[in-house]
């Protein structure tokens, strides 16, 4: 049963300039596996893992079964996973997870982007589009992003978007061999009556201007 009192259909792809956001599909498996393999050193310090081991190294196994599971979770109303694109090419992944209904109506957003595409404002643009989708289409009220305080690149995303700092969660998620603190950032519908993408653009948000290589 969905945690929301209505079905979650696959939202239509969204785009802002050269940045796109669309629901993950089986055809993305090979490209995502390639990116995860190429970006091991770049992503590993920020990836959740299981205490004591036992989880597969991202990119080490075929991703089609995982994508099918993600689509099942979407149909169950638990989460929605997207790919981020630049000029139509997949450069990363974004997830809306921990969807809650009832009196809470909230969700969490997580993301990763390939190192070759970092620093081009792709992620804040994709996050802004995802937040607008959550508020307008899923009728959620609050979105949260939790980030390790050492992750300067990810912190810049929430800073650029003007998300509210709500405190530190001590020993919150098991990452890179230990329980790591995370800083919590949030935005509610009341914070962005004009929409998050509009806020991002009003704050000087610049979309990528050079072609992807």
pLDDT > 70: percent of the chain? 91
pLDDT at 58: 56
Q: Does domain 14-202 have CATH number 3.40.50.720?
A: no
CB atoms within 10 A of CB 60: 10
CA distance 128 to 195: 8
Band (pLDDT 50/70/90 cuts) for residue 212 is: very low
CA distance 40 to 99: 28
Give the ranges where the chain is alpha helix by DSSP (H): 29-38, 40-43, 64-75, 122-136, 152-161, 196-202
Q: Which of 69-83, 174-188, 199-213 has the lowest mean pLDDT?
A: 199-213
Band (pLDDT 50/70/90 cuts) for residue 207 is: low
Band (pLDDT 50/70/90 cuts) for residue 178 is: very high
Element (H, E) at 189: none
pLDDT tens sequence across 122-144: 999 999 999 999 999 999 999 99
pLDDT: is 1 or 147 the higher one? Answer: 147
CA distance 161 to 145: 12
pLDDT at 95: 97
pLDDT tens sequence across 12-32: 999 999 999 999 999 999 999
| Torsion sign, CA atoms 165, 169, 173, 174 | positive
pLDDT at 60: 53
Instruction: Write down the mean pLDDT value for the chain.
Output: 90
Residue keyed to tokens 């169950």: 76
Band (pLDDT 50/70/90 cuts) for residue 104 is: very high
Q: Which of 87, 71, 74 is nearest to 15 (CA)?
A: 87
Q: Which of 90, 106, 77 is nearest to 30 (CA)?
A: 90
pLDDT tens sequence across 53-66: 555 555 556 899 99
pLDDT at 123: 96
pLDDT: is 76 or 171 the higher one? Answer: 171
**Concatenated DSSP letters of 4-65:** SSS--PPPPPEEETTEEEEE--GGGHHHHHHHHHHTHHHHGGG-B--TTS-SPPTTSS-SHH
pLDDT > 90: percent of the chain? 76
Tokens representing 114 are 């390939």
CB atoms within 10 A of CB 76: 13
| Torsion sign, CA atoms 85, 89, 95, 101 | positive
Q: Check whether 9 has a pLDDT greater than 90.
A: no
Domain ranges of the chain: 14-202
CA distance 187 to 84: 21
Q: Check whether 94 has a pLDDT greater than 90.
A: yes
CA distance 34 to 12: 25
CA dihedral 159, 162, 168, 172 (to 10 degrees): -80
């Amino acid at each position: 049963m969905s945690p929301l009192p209505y079905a979650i259909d696959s939202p239509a792809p969204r785009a802002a300039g050269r940045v796109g956001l669309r629901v993950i599909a089986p055809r993305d498996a090979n490209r995502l596996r390639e990116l995860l393999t190429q970006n091991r050193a770049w992503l590993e310090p920020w990836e959740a893992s299981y205490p004591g081991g036992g989880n597969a190294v991202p990119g080490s196994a075929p991703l089609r079964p995982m994508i099918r599971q993600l689509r099942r979770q979407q149909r169950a109303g638990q989460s929605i996973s997207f790919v981020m694109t630049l000029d139509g090419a997949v450069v990363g992944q974004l997830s809306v997870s921990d969807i809650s209904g009832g009196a809470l109506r909230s969700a969490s957003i997580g993301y990763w982007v390939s190192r070759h595409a970092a620093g081009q404002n792709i992620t804040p643009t994709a996050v802004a589009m995802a937040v607008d989708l959550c508020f307008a289409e899923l009728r959620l009220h609050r979105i949260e992003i939790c980030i390790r305080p050492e992750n300067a690149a990810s912190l810049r995303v929430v800073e650029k978007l003007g998300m509210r700092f709500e405190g530190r969660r001590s020993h919150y998620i098991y990452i890179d061999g230990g329980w790591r603190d995370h800083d919590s950032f949030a935005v509610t519908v009341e914070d962005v009556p004009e929409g998050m993408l509009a806020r991002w653009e009003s704050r000087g948000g610049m979309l990528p201007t050079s072609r992807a290589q």
